[in-house]
Amino acid sequence: MLRKLLKYDLQWCYKPLIIFYILALFFAIVTRAIESLEQSLILVIIDKICSGITIAMLINILINYFMRNWARFIKNIYKDEAYLTHTLPVTKNKIYLSKVLTAIITLFTSFVVIVSCLAIVALNENSWELLKASLEDSAISLNCSISSLIIVLVITVFLEFLLLTMSGILGLIIGHKSNNLKIEKSVAIGFGIYMVLSIISLIVIFLAGLLNSNIMSVFKDMEVTSNAIKSIMLMGICIYTIYIFIVYFVSNKLLNKGVNVD
Amino acid sequence: MELVKCNNLCKEFDNKKVLNNINLSIPKGKIIGLLGKNGMGKTTLIKLINDLLTPTSGEVLINGEKPSVNSKKIISYLPERTYLDKEMKVYQILTLFEDFYENFNKEKAINLLKDLDLDINSRVNKMSKGMQEKLQLILVMSRDAELYILDEPLGGVDPATRDYILDTILSNFKEGASVIISTHLISDIERILDEVIFIDKGNIVLTSSADELREKENASIDEIFRRCFKC
């Protein structure tokens, strides 16, 4: 049943996202193709327009990723379509898990498309050498390999976005329970949850700084050492992972207590 | 065992009681009319049976169990509003029902849609509201369920469509199943009812066999309803 729920959730979320993926990739390729031609004033103008459109499409992908996932949740759980969702022979756990997996999959593909587009537009011999050199510098200063540096960076950003999405969903659940889904309050609650969790993260990192002088130097002297960055990034991954599980279980529990569909 | 049993069921919205201590049993194999004026708690009761609302107190049991995956497998529910994803095409909705409901008979649904001259490639948002309601009715009646719950299936439709709806219900529900029809348009359905439940201001005011009630009061259910709920 989870597979079937996931199929319909993914279909719904990907409908506009696929269009933006194609447009972003198309304009990225066009931008790159124009840049490879001999430059004239007209081509420079077209190049600027195309790269502008590519950036707009990339922003659209991110906005649509959030909006589609949240809209799907509201429509399926609390609006007219809830009459079908809640009468399907599926547990609420599976319904919620399907939404979370949809968010993870769509976020992953959106990341891949965004990185691919940026690579198509900006990656050439010079920029590759520059990127490689700066990555090597960072890796050496952090005492790790380039690949592990990239993996840690990507995981941190990925978890940050996923936490934001799931905080939004928790906001919708609490918002619905407390104010019958007045959307402004639900958004405020979701944002509030995200902010509170971010503040707790800072406090946890500060407390860790009491035991680690490298981390404390960030708070005391604003001195960002490579050891501090490494520790903070690894702690960040752990904290975000814990948050995501907490938000997941709280949302699941609240949803399992029952819904009141308008 | 009763198919549905409500024990001291209460539902409040913002401290306002919508259902007040409902005790009710729905037997197997009967067509039951849930009758009451608008806003008296019919839809709330139905939504509680379908797990769309959480009781304030009391409980609903379906085959002795609280609403769960098992109860959803045996209940086929037609709400008073359109619950389909309007971006989907009819054949996609048929596949969705086939995917989730083991007791959904796709062939039966396709045949009923053919009778309506409804193209399965048409999109829901391109269909009229009346056609969307008929599509939902077909989907619901194409399941071999043990309990069909139809919330206001005759609301806001012309007499010809009412006949179509009643015919579709009568000729398609599974033998031995129960049907709960909620409505305030009694004259149209009273001929098919085995039992009636009158609901008023969140209270069950009468439950009876339709024939016994007619005999006892020497009047039609419609007349009894009018007398009972006179403003």
Residue A244 lies in a domain: yes
Nearest neighbour of B54 by CB, restricted to A4, A87, A258: A258
Answer yes or no: do A181 and A114 share one domain: no
> Using the beta-carbon criterion (under 8 Å), do B54 and A260 form an inter-chain contact?
yes
Which structural domain, as residue segments, surrounds residue A231?
125-257
Answer yes or no: do A66 and A40 share one domain: yes
The rounded distance, in Å, linking the Cα atoms of B227 and B123 is 45
Which of these three, A90, A123, A156, is where a domain ends? A123
Q: What is the pLDDT of residue A180?
A: 60
Answer yes or no: do A119 and A142 share one domain: no
| A19 Cβ contact list (under 8 Å, min separation 6) | none
Q: Mean pLDDT: which of A58-72, A231-245, B1-15 is highest?
A: A58-72
Residue A188 lies in a domain: yes
Answer yes or no: do A154 and A213 share one domain: yes
Answer yes or no: do A17 and A119 share one domain: yes
pLDDT digits (tens, 9 = 90+) for B147-203: 999 998 887 777 888 888 888 888 888 888 899 999 888 888 888 888 999 998 888
Confidence of residue A19 (pLDDT cuts 50, 70, 90): very high
Determine how many CB atoms are found less than 10 A away from the CB of residue B95.
Answer: 16
pLDDT of B98 > 90? The answer is yes
Q: What is the pLDDT of residue A228?
A: 75
Which of these three, A97, A123, A149, is where a domain ends? A123
**What residues in B contact A7, CB-CB < 8 Å?**
99
CATH of the domain spanning B4-84+147-228, picked from 3.40.50.261, 3.60.15.10, 3.40.50.300, 3.30.720.110: 3.40.50.300
Answer yes or no: do A44 and A101 share one domain: yes
Answer yes or no: do A129 and A108 share one domain: no
Question: Mean pLDDT throughout A147-152?
Answer: 82
| B84 Cβ contact list (under 8 Å, min separation 6) | A81, A84, B93, B124, B132, B135, B136
Answer yes or no: do A94 and A186 share one domain: no
Answer yes or no: do A129 and A253 share one domain: yes
pLDDT of A30 > 80? The answer is yes
The rounded distance, in Å, linking the Cα atoms of B111 and B118 is 10
Residue A2 lies in a domain: no
Answer yes or no: do A65 and A137 share one domain: no
Confidence of residue A242 (pLDDT cuts 50, 70, 90): very high
Q: What is the pLDDT of residue B220?
A: 87
Chain A: residue nearest B83 by CA?
Answer: A81
Confidence of residue A224 (pLDDT cuts 50, 70, 90): low
Answer yes or no: do A36 and A119 share one domain: yes
Chain B: which residues have CB within 8 Å of chain A?
47, 50-54, 69-70, 72-73, 75, 77, 79, 81-85, 87, 96, 99-101
Which of A52-56, A169-173, A221-225, B144-148 has the weakest average pLDDT?
A221-225
Which of these three, A123, A149, A177, is where a domain ends? A123
Residue A6 lies in a domain: no
Confidence of residue A208 (pLDDT cuts 50, 70, 90): confident
Q: What is the pLDDT of residue A232?
A: 82
Residue A78 lies in a domain: yes
The rounded distance, in Å, linking the Cα atoms of B45 and B80 is 13
Q: What is the pLDDT of residue A8?
A: 94
For residue B157, the number of C-alpha atoms closer than 13 Å in the C-beta half-sphere is 23
**What residues in B contact A90, CB-CB < 8 Å?**
69, 72, 100
Question: Mean pLDDT throughout A202-215?
Answer: 84
Sign of CA dihedral B44, B46, B51, B54: positive
Answer yes or no: do A229 and A119 share one domain: no
**What residues in B contact A91, CB-CB < 8 Å?**
69
The rounded distance, in Å, linking the Cα atoms of B158 and A191 is 48
The rounded distance, in Å, linking the Cα atoms of A83 and A21 is 32
Domain count, chain A: 2
**What residues in B contact A258, CB-CB < 8 Å?**
51, 53-54
